[in-house]
């Protein structure tokens, strides 16, 4: 069975993201004093007394609003409540009960979920008469905490895990493919994710920078489990002025580091930019799998040469990443979006491919016979043998007489020979040369 799901909800600016960061043990959610900073659902793993659970942070629930993004935040929170086994309803203990709290409480009572009322910002256990007001919400006893000062969190977690079903498989070790969807703001990343998953799990808006956090969404298709990470659109540094956006850029790069395969979304209407190249370069430098998706292809006026021209342009601009497959899609019409997941699966299969030592050395021997390494510093390179030491990414260690005289062009030649036999579509491979006496 899946891990229990614990969702944190409440009106804006009551401290949900600070509590989320405390419980997950990491700075994942953006915490600012600006209401509405956390717009989408944020996922993380939590653990207490060997009990593991999935933790979801949500955007603040605005009960009466005509603002498009705020109303979508409410929808996202409702989805998170539906997913939850336990809901932590957070209120502001200093401010007392508000009409918005009462409306959220009414929504939660209708959900029929297990609700724990969390009264935040009780920094000292004195003059906390406001707590008693919250009994009026009809959700049981308020649990006093201070997420900023980390007061009362142990008691809160004791209550949370006491409500878990005994037969829950709290470790839930699953073989998931982790996919980071990366690219500039407003290239259509969230829309593509919604098409892949088949439901509106991520807010979609025409406002650049809507997705500020990296959001994990778990789903399953054709008996394969996935975690797909929608990252904040990465802007040029000169345009990242708000502290919130600076956090978002860091989080997007962290999402790349966590991923097995990155899907780089390029806006076909705007073409390739320097920022696209920088983003892809970061993924390449971290040896991540890569699929290049040219989105909004339906907006392009096409003739028989259009695709070839765009393809050639991508290959020229991303010359260091010739292994990456290219797809043209339209998230609006759904054109070829189904190919993205198929291609991710293919890339992942190459990332986890193991080559036997015997086969690898046959390739190396043939490569050396066809093209002898040149003499460097009066010394000729000798290759003794190679072996694959790991996968995801594939890593090969090749033992030679002197690792300091391996020229990068000959390393690239050997890599190409390995790719001729096994392709390694969509993934960089790591090659390490060691002198025979090196450990």
Q: What are the b/e assignments for 368-385, b being 16+ CB within 10 Å?
A: beeeebeeeeeeebebee
Phi then psi for residue 342, to 5 deg, are -60, -45
Q: Which residues are annotated as a binding site for GTP?
A: 10-17, 57-61, 120-123, 183-190, 230-234, 295-298
Asked if residues 93 and 128 have their Cβ atoms less than 8 Å apart, the reply is: yes
Residue among 183, 176, 238 at smallest CA distance from 211:
183
Q: If you compute the radius of gyration of the chain from its CA atoms, what whole number of angstroms results?
A: 26
Q: Which residues are annotated as a binding site?
A: 10-17, 57-61, 120-123, 183-190, 230-234, 295-298
Residue among 163, 192, 195 at smallest CA distance from 180:
192
Q: Where are the alpha helices (DSSP H) in 62-152?
A: 68-83, 99-111, 130-133
Residue among 430, 360, 337, 349 at smallest CA distance from 390:
430
User: Strand locations in 191-343, DSSP E?
Assistant: 215-221, 224-230, 261-267, 289-295, 326-328
Q: For residue 294, count other CB atoms closer than 10 A to its CB.
A: 25
Residue among 346, 337, 44, 65 at smallest CA distance from 217:
44
Burial of 431 per CB tally in 10 Å (0-12, 13-18, 19+): middle
Q: Which positions ≥6 away from 425 have C-beta within 8 Å?
A: 323, 325, 346, 347, 350
Q: What are the b/e assignments for 176-194, b being 16+ CB within 10 Å?
A: ebbbbbbbbbbbbbbbbbb
DSSP state of 361: H
DSSP state of 128: -
Q: Which residue has the tokens 């650049």?
A: 208
Total residue length of the chain: 439
């Amino acid at each position: 069975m899946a891990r229990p799901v614990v969702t944190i909800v409440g009106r804006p600016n009551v401290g949900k993201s600070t509590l989320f960061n405390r419980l997950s043990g990491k700075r994942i959610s953006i915490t600012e004093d600006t209401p509405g900073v956390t717009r989408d659902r944020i996922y993380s793993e939590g653990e207490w007394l060997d009990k593991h659970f999935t933790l979801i942070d949500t955007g603040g629930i605005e009960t009466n609003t005509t603002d498009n993004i705020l109303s979508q935040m409410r929808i996202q929170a409702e989805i998170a409540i539906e997913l939850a086994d336990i809901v932590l309803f957070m209120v502001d203990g200093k401010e007392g009960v508000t009409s918005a709290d009462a409306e959220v409480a009414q929504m939660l009572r209708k959900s029929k979920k297990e609700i724990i009322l969390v009264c935040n910002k009780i920094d000292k256990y004195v003059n906390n008469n406001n707590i008693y007001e919250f009994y009026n919400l009809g959700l049981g006893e308020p649990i006093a905490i201070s997420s900023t000062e980390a007061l009362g969190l142990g008691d809160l977690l004791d209550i949370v895990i006491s409500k878990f079903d005994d037969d829950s498989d709290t470790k839930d070790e699953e073989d998931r493919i982790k996919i980071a969807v990366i690219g500039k703001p407003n290239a259509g990343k969230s829309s593509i994710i919604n098409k892949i998953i088949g439901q509106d799990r991520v807010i979609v808006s025409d406002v650049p920078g809507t997705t500020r956090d990296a959001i994990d969404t778990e789903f399953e298709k054709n008996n394969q489990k996935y975690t797909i990470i929608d990252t904040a659109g990465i802007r040029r540094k000169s345009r990242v002025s708000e502290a919130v956006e600076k956090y978002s850029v860091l989080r997007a790069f962290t999402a790349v580091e966590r991923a097995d395969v990155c899907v780089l979304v390029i806006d076909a209407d705007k073409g390739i930019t320097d920022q696209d190249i920088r983003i892809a370069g970061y993924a390449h430098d971290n040896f991540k799998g890569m699929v290049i998706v040219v989105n909004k292809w339906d907006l392009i006026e096409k003739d028989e040469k259009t695709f070839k021209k765009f393809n050639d342009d991508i290959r020229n601009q991303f010359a260091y990443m010739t292994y990456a497959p290219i797809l043209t899609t339209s998230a609006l019409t759904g054109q070829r979006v189904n190919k993205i997941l198929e291609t991710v699966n293919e890339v992942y299969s190459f990332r986890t491919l193991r080559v036997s030592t015997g086969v690898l050395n046959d390739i190396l021997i043939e490569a050396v016979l066809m093209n002898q390494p040149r003499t460097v510093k009066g010394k000729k390179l000798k290759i003794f043998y190679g072996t694959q030491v790991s996968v995801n990414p594939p890593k090969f260690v090749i033992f030679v007489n002197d690792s300091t005289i391996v020229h990068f062009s000959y390393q690239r030649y050997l890599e190409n020979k390995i790719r001729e036999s096994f392709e390694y579509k969509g993934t960089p491979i790591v090659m390490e040369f060691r002198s025979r006496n090196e450990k």
